[in-house]
């Protein structure tokens, strides 16, 4: 799921849009805050 979130974020989707997409497509609740945690976890690697 993390890789899906990262791909959507990299394509410019907002954290809220990603959260809504996952809820609609997979019937899973992931908050926009959790999406932010996932995207922030890879920022150090991206900035290198």
29: left (phi over 0), alpha (psi -120 to 50) or beta: beta
Which pLDDT score is estimated for 42?
Answer: 82
The structure's pTM equals: 0.83
Can you give the pLDDT at residue 24? 97
pLDDT tens by residue, 20-41: 999 999 999 999 999 999 998 8
CA 12 – CA 28 distance, rounded (Å): 21
Mean pLDDT in residue range 4-24? 94
Q: Report the alpha-carbon distance of residue 7 to residue 39 in Å, rounded.
A: 10
- Is the pLDDT confidence value at 47 over 90? no
């Amino acid at each position: 799921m993390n890789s899906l979130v990262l791909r959507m974020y990299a394509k410019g989707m907002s954290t809220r849009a990603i959260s809504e997409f996952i809820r609609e497509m997979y019937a899973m609740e992931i908050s926009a805050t959790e999406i932010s945690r996932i995207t922030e976890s890879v920022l150090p690697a991206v900035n290198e």
